[in-house]
Amino acid sequence: QVQLVESGGELVEAGGSLRISCAASGRTLSNYAMAWFRQAPGKEREFVAAISGAGDRTFYSDSVKGRFTISRDNAKDTSYLQLNSLKPEDTAKYYCAATRFWPSVRGDNYDHWGQGTQVTVSS
């Protein structure tokens, strides 16, 4: 069983940057593809980014491509999401997820989820 704990969410101004983290425990993280999803109030959960277990392949939604960067440090069992050029529409609760399979944009392909960290972007 993998336990995921997100951290680093906070209130930032539009145009600002932030890095959020996802710390894993319980299993070797390199065996898992990792992803970030987000959900804003009243909206459906949305795929943001994913990374393969080895960290050699990354995937992004069109809405964040070029602004966000997903990475991982398997030695620290931690995944990161660097958020740059933040916009008010990026405001959401960001969730970390893990799967033993290839990275996917579908949330139901992920077996393990964290509790989320809130990112709020002021205009």
Check residue 53 and give its pLDDT: 94
- Per-residue pLDDT band for 115 (boundaries 50, 70, 90) equals very high
Average pLDDT, the chain: 96
φ/ψ region of 8 (left if φ > 0, alpha if ψ in -120 to 50, else beta) reads: left
User: In this structure, are strands 33-39 and 46-51 parallel, antiparallel, or unpaired?
Assistant: antiparallel
- Per-residue pLDDT band for 28 (boundaries 50, 70, 90) equals confident
11 HSE (CA, 13 A, CB side): 2
Mapping DSSP onto H, E and C, the string for 42-84 reads CCCCEEEEEECCCCCCEEECCCCCCCEEEEEECCCCEEEEEEC
Check residue 81 and give its pLDDT: 98
**Mean pLDDT for the stretch of residues 57-84:** 97
